[in-house]
């Protein structure tokens, strides 16, 4: 063993000396050849390897190698060459794993989502396959870069040779694009989504954009909205509304919406409205959750607007409503930063924990909160762990494993279609139970309050359809299953201004997260200039302007 290690070490100690430019070129070639399996798989699906496409495919290989070289060459100079190349190799190995395994695209929203993911969610993504990717595509080539000697040169010599190579690379790229204009025109115009899988180009561009957006938002002042909001002074009835923010639920997996399996055995016993044509703002929690509570619709919303503008919870709190956010997910993504909020991810707070803490634990001491607020309306948000993947088998207690066998790994591509569907459907079954518990809780307060529950998922999920898993694709290429989400309304007996039968007529009408800002204001009977009754998905017997 010691002899083997010595041979390995001696081999790396006798590496040939190279220039910094050659080292950058070698790393760029390595990245394109070994970290872009998904990118070139998508390319070959559109441009098959035949005589007609051969020249274009080889040119594309050169063009994207050239782009990678340009990005590395600009960022690497003198003493930063090796640190930059090693960082890119390691990050690209992670990126390659997620692209190859889940067909994930690393855009600005995915970067934001990644940075806002907690440790428990990150551990759900850990696998031996990930270790192998990072070892062979990240650590070993990084060690080689670290050990290889680089020719010593002055800063001017390095800059001069670097500029010559950059100019030559740019000219060759432009020449190839010009010579094969028909191919490249089609590629860039009609197959834009493929470029999002280029590694490291896509995540480097997106990281730069994300950092730029952060600097832009630092000087922004929080914009107040709905400062005129107020509840009707003549209404003697106090509101108690629970809004459940679901996680990764698909509308087509709810039997209330026609799914063949009985995944809603408890909700079907309640008088609820299940909206069958409801769509999310985005395909990730980091985008959808802030968007759900924002005055901006999905076409206008972005992360910076969400951070710099008050949301509907701010309006309710300022109007005198007791607002509470309870979270069994990673966080509120900034939505609840200015209101009372509590995490239920740990056993010292959540009394219902086994392999992980359960959504139902958020209900344990909720009555004491209500009793401690004898004045004013009450609005409570419960943020579920729900169906968060890829470890679907962890998202429900053992007694809810009705559909078997189940996929008990985060390597979803290794499971059969039946195993994956069974695990996910068991999650839906547990969500059905959780929502029924919320309704039962509200019923105990029905004689003192106007009660209601509204449940809406933040986004959907891909379960292997067309080779896609999880979520997070940009809206313009995301499949419907990542954006078509369940929305369920329950009204208590004391809800005087909303007729369930009348509203049930709209259950198949198209709605989206864009409607929630105004729907929540309507539920809380808020009069305000920012309230738009035409965007309220509910029909009220009294209009609030």
pLDDT, tens digit (0-9, with 9 covering 90-100), for 228-265 = 999 876 567 899 999 999 999 999 999 999 999 999 99
- Structural domain count, the chain: 2
* pLDDT the model gives residue 1: 44
Q: Can you tell me the distance from the alpha carbon of 65 to that of 169, in angstroms, rounded to the nearest whole number? A: 10
Q: Can you tell me the distance from the alpha carbon of 349 to that of 156, in angstroms, rounded to the nearest whole number? A: 61
Do 185 and 243 belong together in one domain?
Answer: no
In a domain, 518, yes or no: yes
Do 295 and 427 belong together in one domain?
Answer: yes
Average pLDDT over residues 499-525: 95
Q: Which residues pair with 470 in a beta bridge?
A: 462
In a domain, 226, yes or no: no
**What Rg do the C-alpha atoms of the chain give, in angstroms?**
27
Q: Which residues pair with 453 in a beta bridge?
A: 242, 490
pTM: 0.85
Do 146 and 243 belong together in one domain?
Answer: no
Q: Which domain holds residue 497?
A: 238-535
What's the CATH code of the domain at 404?
3.40.720.10
* pLDDT the model gives residue 155: 75
pLDDT at 153 over 80: no
In a domain, 540, yes or no: no
In a domain, 228, yes or no: no
pLDDT at 371 over 60: yes
Do 208 and 283 belong together in one domain?
Answer: no
In a domain, 123, yes or no: yes
* pLDDT the model gives residue 3: 47
Q: Can you tell me the distance from the alpha carbon of 538 to that of 302, in angstroms, rounded to the nearest whole number? A: 26
* pLDDT the model gives residue 444: 96
How confident is residue 4, by pLDDT bands cut at 50, 70 and 90? very low
Do 256 and 209 belong together in one domain?
Answer: no
**Residue-averaged pLDDT of the chain:** 91
Q: Which of 395, 384, 441, 341 is nearest to 245 (CA)?
A: 384
What are the tens digits of pLDDT across the range 30-40? 999 999 999 99
Domain boundary among 169, 188, 217: 217
What are the tens digits of pLDDT across the range 91-150? 999 999 999 988 888 888 788 777 777 777 777 888 889 999 999 999 999 999 999 998
Ramachandran class of 333: left when φ > 0, alpha when ψ lies in -120 to 50, beta otherwise:
left
Domain boundary among 217, 251, 268: 217
Coil, helix or strand at residue 312: helix
Do 137 and 103 belong together in one domain?
Answer: yes
In a domain, 187, yes or no: yes
In a domain, 543, yes or no: no
In a domain, 364, yes or no: yes
In 285-437, at which residue ranges do the beta strands (DSSP E only) sit? Answer: 322-327, 340-343, 378-383
């Amino acid at each position: 063993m010691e002899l083997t290690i010595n041979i390995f070490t001696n081999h790396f100690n006798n590496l040939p000396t190279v220039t910094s430019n050659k080292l950058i070129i070698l790393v760029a070639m390595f990245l394109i050849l070994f970290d872009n399996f998904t990118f070139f798989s998508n390319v070959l699906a559109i441009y098959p390897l035949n005589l007609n496409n051969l020249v274009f495919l080889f040119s594309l290989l050169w063009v994207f190698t050239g782009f990678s070289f340009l990005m590395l060459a600009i960022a690497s100079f003198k003493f930063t060459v090796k640190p930059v190349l090693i960082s890119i190799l390691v990050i690209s190995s992670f990126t390659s794993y997620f692209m190859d395994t889940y067909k994930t695209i690393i855009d600005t929203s995915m970067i934001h989502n990644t940075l806002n993911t907690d440790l428990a969610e990150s551990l759900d993504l850990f696998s031996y396959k990930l270790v192998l990717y990072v070892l062979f595509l990240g650590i070993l080539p990084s060690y080689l870069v670290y050990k290889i000697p680089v020719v010593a040169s002055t800063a001017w010599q390095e800059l001069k040779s670097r500029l010559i190579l950059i100019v030559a690379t740019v000219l060759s790229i432009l020449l190839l694009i010009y010579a094969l204009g028909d191919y490249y025109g089609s590629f860039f115009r009609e197959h834009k989504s493929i470029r999002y899988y280029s590694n490291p180009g896509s995540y480097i561009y997106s990281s730069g954009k994300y950092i730029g957006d952060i600097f832009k938002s630092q000087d922004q002042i929080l914009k107040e909205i709905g400062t005129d909001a107020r509840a009707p002074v003549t209404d003697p009835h106090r509101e108690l509304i629970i809004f459940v923010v679901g996680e990764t639920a698909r509308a087509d997996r709810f039997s209330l919406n026609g799914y063949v399996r009985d995944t809603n055995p408890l909700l079907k016993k309640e008088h609820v409205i299940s909206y069958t044509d409801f769509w999310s703002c985005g395909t990730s929690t980091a985008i959808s959750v802030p968007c759900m509570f924002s005055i901006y619709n999905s076409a206008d919303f972005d992360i910076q607007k969400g951070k710099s503008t008050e949301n509907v919870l701010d309006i309710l709190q300022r109007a005198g409503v007791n607002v509470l956010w309870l979270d069994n997910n990673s966080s509120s993504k900034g939505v609840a930063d200015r209101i009372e909020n509590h995490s239920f991810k740990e056993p010292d707070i959540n009394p219902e924990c086994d392999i992980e803490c359960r959504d139902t634990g958020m209900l344990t001491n909720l009555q004491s909160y209500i009793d401690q607020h004898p004045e004013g309306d009450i609005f409570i948000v419960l943020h579920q762990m729900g169906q968060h993947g890829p470890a679907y088998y962890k998202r429900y207690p053992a007694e809810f494993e009705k559909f078997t066998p189940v996929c008990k790994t985060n390597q979803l591509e290794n499971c059969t279609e039946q195993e994956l569907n069974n695990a996910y459907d068991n999650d839906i079954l547990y969500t059905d139970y959780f929502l029924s518990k919320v309704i039962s809780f509200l019923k105990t307060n029905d004689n003192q309050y106007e009660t209601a529950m509204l449940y809406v998922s933040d986004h959907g999920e891909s379960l292997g359809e067309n080779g896609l898993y999880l979520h997070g694709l940009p809206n313009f290429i995301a499949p419907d299953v990542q954006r078509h989400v369940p929305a369920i309304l329950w009204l208590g007996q004391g809800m005087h201004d909303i007729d369930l039968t009348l509203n049930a007529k709209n259950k198949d009408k198209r709605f989206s997260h864009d409607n929630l800002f105004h729907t929540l204001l309507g539920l809380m009977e808020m009069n305000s200039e920012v309230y738009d009754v035409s965007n309220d998905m509910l029909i009220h017997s009294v209009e609030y302007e």
